[in-house]
Structure 1
């Protein structure tokens, strides 16, 4: 991940302010035959970034996963220029594999503004990552996520009695240092954001790999509050708030070690228990 291989895309045809088509490969996630959703999110964001001015940075994205992707075949991303205003730009990116749409994402970019005032809650009080063990020891040593990210999970507490809420906290950073490229940093954060969020709902069933439980992302929303470097430790505070009707909803926040809230995430996922 220090070089960004898992989220890279290459031009297929066309490039520039009118969009174009790029493609990439999304590595496997929990199942070897299904791609990791975070890779598709990151590549779609990278495709959208290619169509905006360099002085504009992503501040939000909203994506829908329409069907599973295969890691064995390339995914093509086409971006439409929806609007360019004085401060904000909107793009619509669609991921296609085997001539079928698999993901659609709306992305909004903005120019930086001079307002230096911030209001945010206090960072959760959790142990330092140096005091925690490898939270992904259950993954094979050659799994792309394990090779791309260092993951230190805080020991999990039981669901809050009477509320159904489940909390999990984990420190995450890339393996290796990233180049000084804010665009790459934003794409990597999107890549990271999908990893532990929806699986928070699996804790009562014996996460990480419960038998007879199906979990798949349905949609994903993300708000980028401040620039951040994912090659430095970030605390990902995740909480699962509701499950029912074959679905589950989770929210998350990314924090720096200095206590800055840098991004917020929400995701709904399919959750079926046989």
Structure 2
């Protein structure tokens, strides 16, 4: 397992996001060797963003992306990314991309790019939570061996992201219902600098833990074998520059769940309180049966 502080995770993700150019507007990406049964959603979002960035005009930086997951991704075969150049203006440009496997789209996304401009400035305040250094013993990757089996099996895998939930006990055991969770998150080791890479990295990690927030109110989790969970769509708005080498606070809440779907949105802050991005997602959270709760602590 990759441990916090080494550079394997950052290098591995950089390699994953370095797509192969096949032809004009056509790229190929790979998936890491894993026991996962399907491609991680954040991976295909990030790789799709990289494909659109490769075609954006010089000086145009992504400010938003909106995507829909259509089919589970196959980890055993490459993903082909087909980009369409929808518009190039002086201030804004727009791209669409299809991620294709076995001749079928597994994910479609539009991304909008803009040159940097000055304008009005305001933002929400960052939640008042302990800094990550005070949660040094609460890294989910280090504490996973004490977690419920479904959580342990997931988090003990090597990954490029280091995570420290503000309330680790409730993150693991769902002891009390709630509508919000706060998680510190950063790259597991040094990562390349540059705005294009940093936004792609954030797109990757923005899919981690967000859908799970829709089940907090029900003291359940996407890891439960009683829940069929899958991301349906994903949107990210990039507000300000940031660096993923340092901790970012991912503050998540779920305003609504019904009809077998849960909606969650998140705000991502740098440690100095700057709001750098916003995320929204709806996902499938279908109940397989009516046995509750999610799990009991041994």
The TM-score, its normalising length taken from structure 1, stands at 0.89
Aligned residues: 260
Looking at structure 1, the residues matched to 236 and 276 of structure 2 have their Cα atoms a distance apart, in angstroms, of 11
Unaligned runs of 5+ residues in structure 2 are: 1-8, 145-151, 289-298
**More strand, by proportion:** 1
Partner of 1:75: 79
Of 201, 207, 212, the match for 2:226: 212
Give matches, 1:251-270, under 5 Å: 251-270=265-284
Q: Structure 1 residues 129-138 or 57-66, which shifts more?
A: 129-138
Structure 1 stretches of at least 4 aligned residues deviating more than 4 Å after TM superposition: 139-142
In the TM superposition, what is the alpha-carbon distance from 1:140 to its structure 2 partner? 5.4
In the TM superposition, what is the alpha-carbon distance from 1:205 to its structure 2 partner? 4.4
Looking at structure 2, the residues matched to 48 and 208 of structure 1 have their Cα atoms a distance apart, in angstroms, of 30
Partner of 1:91: 95
Looking at structure 1, the residues matched to 254 and 77 of structure 2 have their Cα atoms a distance apart, in angstroms, of 33
Secondary structure at 1:2 match in 2: helix
Looking at structure 1, the residues matched to 157 and 242 of structure 2 have their Cα atoms a distance apart, in angstroms, of 25
**More helix, by proportion:** 2
The TM-score, its normalising length taken from structure 2, stands at 0.82
Secondary structure at 1:265 match in 2: strand
Question: Are 2:177 and 2:219, in contact at CA under 8 Å, matched by a contact in 1?
Answer: no
In the TM superposition, what is the alpha-carbon distance from 1:27 to its structure 2 partner? 4.3
Question: Are 1:253 and 1:265, in contact at CA under 8 Å, matched by a contact in 2?
Answer: yes
Partner of 1:163: none
Aligned-residue CA RMSD in angstroms? 1.8
Looking at structure 1, the residues matched to 255 and 225 of structure 2 have their Cα atoms a distance apart, in angstroms, of 22
CA distances 1:181-215 after superposition (whole Å, capped 9, x unpaired): 11000000000100010111233344362121111
Question: Are 2:160 and 2:187, in contact at CA under 8 Å, matched by a contact in 1?
Answer: yes
Q: In the alignment, is residue 45 of structure 1 matched against residue 63 of structure 2?
A: no
In the TM superposition, what is the alpha-carbon distance from 1:66 to its structure 2 partner? 0.6
Residues 256 and 139 of structure 1, relative CA distance in 2, 3 Å threshold: farther
Partner of 1:17: none
Of 244, 255, 261, the match for 1:241: 255
Unaligned runs of 5+ residues in structure 1 are: 15-19, 161-165
CA distances 1:127-164 after superposition (whole Å, capped 9, x unpaired): 111222022422457624xx30110001148335xxxx
CA distances 1:60-105 after superposition (whole Å, capped 9, x unpaired): 0000001110111110001000001110000001100010011110
Q: In the alignment, is residue 150 of structure 1 matched against residue 162 of structure 2?
A: yes
Residues 91 and 32 of structure 1, relative CA distance in 2, 3 Å threshold: same
Looking at structure 2, the residues matched to 28 and 35 of structure 1 have their Cα atoms a distance apart, in angstroms, of 10
Secondary structure at 2:10 match in 1: coil
